[in-house]
Amino acid sequence: MTGNVLGLGIGIAAFGVAIGLGLIGYSAMQGMARQPEAIGKLQTAMLIALAFVELVFLLVVFIVPGSVR
Amino acid sequence: MKAVFETAPLLLAAAGKEGEKGHHGPSFVGLFVYVALVLAVLFALMAYAKPGMSQRVFSGRKLLGLPILGSFEQIYLFIEQMCVGTIGSHGRKYIPMIMTFWMVIFVGNLVALFFPTSPTADLSFNLGIALISIGYVQWEGMRANGVFGHLKHFAGPKLPGALILISAIIFVIELISELMKNVSLSLRLFGNIDGGHQAAVAMNELGKHIIDLGGFELSIPFGAFLLPIKLLTCVVQAMIFSLLTCVYLSLVTHHDDHGDDHGHAPAPAH
Amino acid sequence: MSQEHNEKGGAPAIVLIVIGVVLMFGGMILSDQTKEAAFIKALAEQGIPLDIGKTVATIGVFMILFPVIKSFFTNPLQEAIGQRNTDLERTFSEAESLRGQMTEMKADYERRLVETEAQAREQIQAQIREAQDLRKTLMAEATQQADSMKKRAQEEIEAERDRALTGIRLQVANLTLQATERILGENMDTDRNRRLIDEFLDQIEVPAS
């Protein structure tokens, strides 16, 4: 039973993180389309942002199961 | 206990089938067999590419139609651009270190595509790299600002009088965040590579014995369809690791760079 | 944790390598020692398979790896790329200077061409002027000569005419004298008579045109 609830929780975390990643990609692509000369800088900033958002999900995956136990 | 294995599907889907051993990663000797494999690949490529350096044009020798030295040159230029773009003009001296990180992580990730495990799919190895990276950042910060200046850097902006308490709190928080940088660097790499690995294994599970041809069961390796995106992850994770190291270095050695910037180019105001 | 190792980061590579080897063996021992440690087990239960020994050994591996890769590959690559860049730059600057030289030479050539043209034109004009001068002087000379010749001819004509006139006059006078002599039967060829006839002839003389 706890297992199912935890799975649901991780699913919710993935949902939020997916939205966040999508937003980053969306805005970065919009920025690139508007200013193609700034693609390099935008990509760097986008990758850093992606890494940090992704980290949230990884933390959830690694820490939540242990702490709920 | 059992719940944990059931509920972390990304990481642990295959753990039940493979047993406890797969979950714990390779043993000490196993890990270093893989490290030796990665380094062997890397050094073989480097030794293969090295004779071409004396030529005027880097055409060099090709392996499977891929100009090895040209690829190394592109990596070098990419890293140089990253270092100089993020850290500033004095970032050039960090290129060998960042490039070593990039190459080792990239080859490690590639090994993870074809082998059951790999150095970068092991949290302990990743934590080691992250500790080196952050430790080097601290060392560079101390060299740039002095030990005391570097510690003061943690305390945030200078606050007057009684607000020194807040500075103390900021100091502690910064210290924790510095430690968390290690965790985040290593966990990100581990989660991406090992997670991709587990996802591939789980998808292979899905396709196991999916077609029954009258007693002869066919399996479809669905996990193979993940290879393109895993290849992308290989590059992106190697890049993110080196990029974040660059960013941390630039944060720490920012001050003299700032002074230089103002000294050389005071004019451009956007 | 790794700080004290990195304190010696500026040290020569051999120190780093020694530290790396020590760390690798230390990691091996540490891995054995901490296998049953409580916090490792706790982390493993949480799905985080951490082995401190491996981490320490990894740090050791990288301590060795950095100087090795740096001297084995990165520095030569850096040098080669730098040298190639300077080579290219030098070639470019050479080409640039050659082009500059060529432009200079071309400008020089053009300047000389213009100069030559101007010189030639000047010469031609000078020649023309000279020829014109010559023509003028020749014309003047010729005119002068013609004039003088004409004058001489006129003088000659006049002299001839005068001589003829004088001859005729003499003839007439002689004839008249002879006629008169014959008529008068005596020699009238005296000075006085002659003067008389001359006077007479002067009176009847028509203007010599």
pLDDT tens, residue by residue, B63-98: 776 777 878 888 888 888 888 888 878 878 888 888
C32 vs B contacts (CB less than 8 Å): 28
Interchain contact, C48 vs A62, CB within 8 Å: yes
At B20 the pLDDT is 40
Q: Is residue B68 within 8 Å of B62, Cβ to Cβ? A: yes
pTM for the complete prediction?
0.69
Q: What's the average model confidence in pLDDT over B116-123?
A: 82
Is the per-residue pLDDT at B49 higher than 70? yes
Alpha-carbon distance B93 to C6, whole Å? 16
Q: Which of B68, B85, B133 is nearest to B105 (CA)?
A: B133
Q: CA dihedral in degrees (B249, B255, B257, B259; nearest 10)? A: 180
Among C40, C74, C85, which would you mutate to test the B interface (most chain B Cβ atoms within 10 Å of its Cβ)?
C74
Q: Which residues of chain C have pLDDT under 70?
A: 1-11, 46-47, 185-189, 205-209
Residues 20 to 59 of B: which have CB under 8 A from any A CB?
none
B4 compared with C19, residue with greater pLDDT:
C19
At C3 the pLDDT is 40
For the stretch B189-221, pLDDT in tens is 888 888 888 888 888 888 777 777 777 777 888
Q: Which of B5, B248, B216 is nearest to B134 (CA)?
A: B248
Strands B66-67 and B211-213: unpaired
> Is residue C148 packed enough to be buried (19+ CB in 10 Å), middle (13-18) or exposed (0-12)?
exposed
Alpha-carbon distance B212 to C14, whole Å? 62
Q: How many angstroms separate the Cα of B269 from the Cα of each of B262, B265, B266? A: 12, 10, 8
Interchain contact, B131 vs C55, CB within 8 Å: yes
At C123 the pLDDT is 93
Give the count of beta carbons closer than 10 Å to the beta carbon of residue A27.
13
Q: What ipTM describes this predicted complex?
A: 0.77
For the stretch C122-155, pLDDT in tens is 999 999 999 999 999 999 999 999 999 999 999 9
| C53 at B interface, C-beta within 8 A | yes
Among A54, A63, A64, A68, which would you mutate to test the B interface (most chain B Cβ atoms within 10 Å of its Cβ)?
A54
**Maximum C-alpha span of chain A:** 53
Q: How many angstroms separate the Cα of C127 from the Cα of each of B155, C137, C169? A: 96, 15, 61
Instruction: Find all residues with CB under 8 Å of B34, minimum gap 6, and list them.
Output: B26, B108, B111, B115, B117, B118, B119, B122
For the stretch B157-183, pLDDT in tens is 777 777 778 888 888 888 888 888 888
